[in-house]
A and B are shown apart, each in its own frame.
Chain A
């Protein structure tokens, strides 16, 4: 087994091919300049070798044209590199709208993944072929980094906030998942597998293990158990605002600023409720720091995301983002 010598990684996503194309362009430019420099150095060294002890080099001080040329030409080449890679980077950073969402939590030293349908896995991620997948990720402790070489994507997983990565697999099979950011003793053990399955197999797999209910159902239960419901009443008459259909809204804050209700805002409002307080509500909510796990936070957020806005007579609908 150890005698295999792979020289190039498989391409498991559409982006992988594009990144590789750019890489080959970079390799070609690099090869050209390496050979050029090495060739010239060797040629000059031999052609103009010192033939007598007292020989001196010719009085050449420089040449404006040449010097400008080798500033301008590399500049334009690097600008090609800059714009080409920037275009790739923007695509890598922006998940498509139709992406399905899966939550990932990194902790020393494992990956926990939660599907909305309820499936939970550790160090394994099952996804369907041809479907864009968006991962919403956070860490329970130190910084990790979610890296799947065949997709050519990587994103750091940070404690205290959510980061996103996405990929659209184009090949079924079992591919390495690595933690790429050094995270302590068993860093190199924080690896797993991404299983890309035919969509029908994926559906069968999903159906196999959701006995605890969907993520949103579990979130709904937590919402009751933690007594969130007592203040955040659906009818809006509680001491806190109703959270029904709030996700994605732009709301006014007590300090006059505005905030978009996204995963990060919800997370912050659960853990430090007074940090960005919604306008018109008293600062009475206690912190849930230490009372809810990262997994539970995601369930709560998923629940809030899935609530529908009730049409309330008299209540002005907040402006959508």
Chain B
């Protein structure tokens, strides 16, 4: 028995004090810094959403003024996309797990990793500052010439905030790529890597290659606003639609920054909760890379009705269908993994089920939006709003929370309480569908998005959506309470409470500062649950 006094130091107890956190270069501590920051942003963005849904209870714009409403949905989008969804899985779970899963002591550039967080905080602070000063009303998409010439809100501060935050993303992606290439444990070949690593690798490629484009785009808007250069302003020879091309060249792949790492999480959850290798491991791994590559070629599907040529529209439609195939493959493969598995219904699995359900609906409605002739009708309506919330909230946040539950015992050494956790998964799933399914109907009926006031016939569905949102808000609040509760009262766990495969489960919970006392040697494929599949992972 280990007595309290002899207890091994872990990354949480290795040092104390504010300074030890703010100057840490430990990837696990940095992950927790990110966790605290993005949780803050999530609830801030959520508060904006609450106000939006309350305003839309009635057809008249009566709760807030038009300008205020426009600022609310803009800030909701900016904060949720740039300061929560994009960093959520990579910067929190990825930061914590990438070194652990590949048997490394840390990321390749620990100081750069800390710098990323500071850059992120500076960018986030600027965006919040913009909100405090009076907000910004361009929509998170910043379409020109509205953003560059017409809006007289705090566009520049917000844009600079996003510009700066982009570098956090680039540096994190760079760090992951180098780490995955150079620091894998002996024996951990590419096709033995956990699918979470593959997914983060693919997402990192997008972060490194795509983010600079949005940075340049934002810079161009800034230059036009500040110096009157004519890039997007048609009155002096600029092209307003050029902005849309540049913006979506990054922002469509950005959706894959949100969803790819989440898909990696789901692969881990499904494997551990079925105690089975992911069906068609190689195909799932390659699908991540295929999504990352093809994702760069589909941006024009946001421009079917923007005056883009009909032929360009058709090409982008075709390519959008092509990127749908690897996503569909993943869903089929997860489903097939359940066949003859040792399936549990523990909380992470419930979240994974929720992800599969919501992502499937989000993906299938994506096929409708990729259909040129149909998109003309539903483009810029609530149909689109519903679709991307199914992917980015239903999919990405469901997977993120599933991952948080799965690795919570590894992060903290304590287990969350199972019953409220199961309840949260269920409440979020139900609340989400109540909130966003009516929006599909609203969209096909023709309700445009970003409407402060709307015709009366849309009211009933809007009321349903708002009612659902209150259920959803309750669901999101629950984990906050029991996670915090479990820090003190949760049951202590050993190295591997799930009986899961993967290097992160070999070390103690919480892990020591440098992760492994001895470097693990890998002698078997990922998820080698069946006993005959290979030798056990050995320590040397």
Task: Name A residues whose Cβ lies closer than 8 Å to a Cβ of B.
Answer: 1-9, 19, 22-23, 26, 29-30, 33-34, 37-38, 40-41, 44-45, 48-51, 53-63, 66-67, 70-71, 74-75, 78-79, 81-82, 84-93, 108, 141-143, 145, 147, 149-150, 152-156, 158-161, 163, 176, 178-189, 191, 272, 289
Contacts and interface: CB of A to CB of B under 8 A. Distances in A.
Contact of A180 (B279, B313, B314, B379): B379
A160 B340 contact: no
B58 to A, nearest CB: 8
A56 B342 CA distance: 5
B338 A40 contact: yes
Contact of B379 (A67, A78, A154, A163): A154
A77 B318 CA distance: 12
A178 B457 CA distance: 14
Which 5 A-B pairs rank lowest in CB-CB distance, beginning with the nearest? A149-B446, A160-B234, A88-B373, A57-B276, A85-B371
B305 A156 contact: yes
B59 interface: yes
A62 B360 contact: no
29 contacts: A2-B460, A9-B446, A26-B368, A30-B368, A40-B338, A49-B345, A50-B275, A57-B342, A59-B533, A61-B279, A67-B280, A67-B283, A70-B328, A74-B328, A81-B321, A81-B371, A82-B321, A87-B373, A89-B372, A142-B143, A143-B143, A143-B240, A147-B446, A160-B240, A176-B446, A180-B379, A188-B454, A189-B66, A272-B237
A57 B499 contact: no
A75 B329 CA distance: 11
Q: Which of B329, B336, B453 has the most CB of A within 10 A?
A: B336
Given A40-B335, A55-B342, A187 B532 contact: no
Nearest to A94: B310
Q: Chain A interface mostly helix, strand, loop or mixed?
A: mixed
B444 A57 contact: no
B338 A41 contact: yes
Interface stretch (B145-153, B396-404, B480-488): B145-153
Nearest to A148: B446
Interface residues of B, number: 100
Nearest to B458: A6
Nearest to B70: A185
A38 B360 CA distance: 9
B279 A60 contact: yes
Contacts of B304: 89
Interface of B: 59, 61, 66-67, 70, 137, 139, 143, 145-146, 149-151, 234-235, 237, 239-241, 274-277, 279-283, 304-307, 310, 313-314, 317-318, 321, 324-325, 328-329, 331-333, 335-345, 349, 353, 356-357, 360-361, 364-365, 367-368, 370-377, 379-381, 441, 444-446, 448-457, 459-461, 499, 529-533
Given A29-B364, A149-B446, A45 B328 contact: no
Contacts of A149: 377, 445-446
A86 to B, nearest CB: 5
Q: Chain B interface mostly helix, strand, loop or mixed?
A: helix
A58 B521 CA distance: 25
Given A26-B374, A44-B335, A78-B325, A57 B274 contact: yes
A44 B343 contact: yes
Contacts of A179: 448
Given A37-B360, A44-B335, A59-B533, A2 B59 contact: yes
Given A2-B459, A60-B339, A160-B240, 5 more contacts: A1-B456, A22-B373, A48-B340, A61-B279, A63-B336
Q: Which of A2, A67, A85, A178 has the most CB of B within 10 A?
A: A85
